[in-house]
Structure 1
Amino acid sequence: MSFGKPERYEEEPRTRPRTAVVAVCLVLGLGLIGGAVTGSWLAGDGGDGGARDTYAVAGTLWHSVPVDKLFPPTVRGTGAGPGGADRTWTRVAVAPDTGCGNAFDPLLRKALAPVGCERLLRATYTDATQSFVTTVGLMFTTADAAAMNALAGRFKSEGLATRTDLMPLPYARKGTAAARFGPGQRASWTVSVLTDAPVVVYAVSGWADGRSVDTPVPAEQAMQSGATSAPAQAGLGNEAQGLADRIERSLRKDVTSPTEKPS
């Protein structure tokens, strides 16, 4: 290994390229830092000040983002169906943004109470064949990150997301494919308590023909290989989980441009 010749004071011209290199590195470094802040939200990772900023921004999306961005008129689910089949969901109803007073069964309302309810947004979709209907909801909470982490931990440790007495309610509207989608038609569901945003994301699915369901099955069980229940065989677990996942992804993207107008 060899070293270059020592610099002399009179060799001033050689310092200019070095100054330029330092400046370029500084610009690149700032760009990487800025990208990391945005990336921490999109990837769901925490990151000190950047994470706190995106957490706060996420809590305001219910009134700063157009409904067509939170709940797109059409949602495509590549590989979201059973066996990796593609899915396309069409929005048939959007509920007025409300509080959570009458939007959940009593036990689920009690389970979610520790994080508070700032606003609840809901929309109902149907699949391409109009055989199934799925309500997806975004509950914006009043909680800080610690409270959301605590609730997420409780849902996981106590298996609250798989209890049939803690299913979300559907949202039905007359004159649509979801007109007969009531509490007795709930077939599969999922509830996700986010820890990097003050939001609970959920979805509940059923048949569009109004048939009642004696034994609903949580999405994670309905999607398991070899599941033989009627909701599993129909792919209703995939309907609920696939749509919830894509609405959550859309929410994460919206935090980077919450005031952008829909095209």
Structure 2
Amino acid sequence: MPPEQPRTRPDGRRGLPLGSSAGRLRARPWPASRRRAAAVQALKEREEVARGLRFRAVFMTLMGVVLAVATLDVLLGSLGLFLETRSRPLTDAERAKYVADDIARRWQAWPVGMVFPEELPYNGLGRAQQYARRVGVAPETTCTTAVDSPVASVLGEQGCRTMLRATYVDQTSTFAITVGVAVLRDEDARIDAASKLPVDDRVGVRPVAFPGTVTDNFGAAQRQRTGWVAAGPYIVFSTVGYTDGRTRESVPLEEQLNSEMWPTAESIAGRIARSLGEPPDVPRCTQGNVC
């Protein structure tokens, strides 16, 4: 089919073939349509802004709640810490515990010279004050190996923790006195143990002799008497004999009763027990003496 020829218009100019759209004017949108489109777009933008504002408001509210809860927790914690740590008067129970704890740790916390002083005063004949001298301190040992069997069984039942021993001589070096400090779990255990100890002045702590000193001959056979005194969680045992090696059997009973030997031993053991069990100064408040 031959190609379509351009048409000739009445004015002599050629026109475009039929069906051709070239040169046609495009349709222009109505002004009202543009305004509606702009209004729709503006509405969408306002809705997006509103949604953003609502989201921001919700977010800020949640953050405010979280911060408020966190602040309240911090304030409550700070208040609790302040109330817990502020200085206040000690209660009776706290004072009693302070005393008990201080006494119970003395056997470890104190140096040897405080548990067993180098010199201890006692009253001799005519109540004249004299001084016993410490000859030596034995190594720490178990309770059951430092005492006689009847006493060891009682201490073992009550959970005796350890035994500290030292030997003294009187001012004239006539008597040798071994002092043994049995450390119990607490005062209740000490009370139970003391109630079960045998009433026999021939059994108790075993003597400790130190070679090369006047106590060299002080052994089990030389013990004249034994005894004990209690303080806090401690039972302070003592045993005494002559430094010249005399045995118990060789000394008449009357001489034992009238001798200053046993009062000297009792005085030395009593002073050690009182020192260990003496109540400490208790602060009035939880942080010293200022509440």
User: Which range, TM-score by smaller chain?
Assistant: 0.5 to 0.7
Rate the CA distance shift 1:252–1:148 in 2: closer, same or farther, 3 A. Answer: closer
For the residue of structure 2 that corresponds to 1:167, the secondary structure is coil
Aligned partners of 2:270 and 2:130: how far apart in 1? 13
- Residue 60 of structure 1 and its aligned partner are, at CA, apart by 1.7
Code of the residue aligned with 1:145 in structure 2: it is E
In the alignment, what sits opposite 2:245?
210
Aligned partners of 1:165 and 1:245: how far apart in 2? 19
In the alignment, what sits opposite 2:177?
134
In the alignment, what sits opposite 1:231?
256
Rate the CA distance shift 1:120–1:89 in 2: closer, same or farther, 3 A. Answer: same
- Residue 48 of structure 1 and its aligned partner are, at CA, apart by 4.0
Aligned partners of 1:132 and 1:165: how far apart in 2? 17
Code of the residue aligned with 1:248 in structure 2: it is A
For the residue of structure 1 that corresponds to 2:270, the secondary structure is helix
- Residue 229 of structure 1 and its aligned partner are, at CA, apart by 2.4
Pick the structure with greater CA Rg. Answer: 2
For the residue of structure 1 that corresponds to 2:145, the secondary structure is coil
Q: How does 1:1-263 map to 2 (within 5 A)?
A: 48-77=93-122, 80-142=123-185, 144-155=186-197, 160=198, 162-194=199-231, 197-214=232-249, 229-253=254-278
Rate the CA distance shift 1:150–1:179 in 2: closer, same or farther, 3 A. Answer: same
Aligned partners of 2:250 and 2:160: how far apart in 1? 29
Code of the residue aligned with 2:234 in structure 1: it is V
Code of the residue aligned with 2:189 in structure 1: it is A
Code of the residue aligned with 1:211 in structure 2: it is R
For the residue of structure 1 that corresponds to 2:107, the secondary structure is helix
**TM-score, normalised to structure 2's length?**
0.60
Code of the residue aligned with 1:153 in structure 2: it is S
Code of the residue aligned with 2:111 in structure 1: it is P
Q: Is the 8 A contact 1:189 1:241 kept in 2?
A: no
Rate the CA distance shift 1:115–1:256 in 2: closer, same or farther, 3 A. Answer: farther
Code of the residue aligned with 2:207 in structure 1: it is P
Count of residue pairs brought into register by the alignment: 196
Code of the residue aligned with 2:159 in structure 1: it is G
For the residue of structure 2 that corresponds to 1:211, the secondary structure is coil
TM-superposition CA deviations, 1:132-162 (whole Å, max 9, x none): 11011111112x333322333344xxxx2x4
What percentage of aligned pairs have identical amino acids?
Answer: 29
Backbone CA RMSD of aligned residues: 2.9
Aligned partners of 2:215 and 2:279: how far apart in 1? 27
**TM-score, normalised to structure 1's length?**
0.66
Which structure has more RCO (C-alpha within 8 Å, separation ≥ 6)?
Answer: 1
Aligned partners of 2:156 and 2:188: how far apart in 1? 15
- Residue 253 of structure 1 and its aligned partner are, at CA, apart by 4.4
Task: Could you tell me which runs of 5 or more consecutive residues in structure 2 were left unpaired when the two chains were aligned.
Answer: 1-86, 283-291
In the alignment, what sits opposite 2:53?
none
Code of the residue aligned with 1:102 in structure 2: it is T
Rate the CA distance shift 1:101–1:109 in 2: closer, same or farther, 3 A. Answer: closer
Task: Could you tell me which runs of 5 or more consecutive residues in structure 1 were left unpaired when the two chains were aligned.
Answer: 1-29, 38-46, 218-227, 258-263
Rate the CA distance shift 1:105–1:137 in 2: closer, same or farther, 3 A. Answer: same
Q: Is the 8 A contact 1:188 1:206 kept in 2?
A: yes
In the alignment, what sits opposite 1:10?
none
- Residue 200 of structure 1 and its aligned partner are, at CA, apart by 0.7
Rate the CA distance shift 1:214–1:127 in 2: closer, same or farther, 3 A. Answer: same
Code of the residue aligned with 1:209 in structure 2: it is D
TM-superposition CA deviations, 1:143-195 (whole Å, max 9, x none): x333322333344xxxx2x414533211111011111110000012211233x
In the alignment, what sits opposite 1:19?
none
Rate the CA distance shift 1:51–1:214 in 2: closer, same or farther, 3 A. Answer: farther
- Residue 83 of structure 1 and its aligned partner are, at CA, apart by 4.8
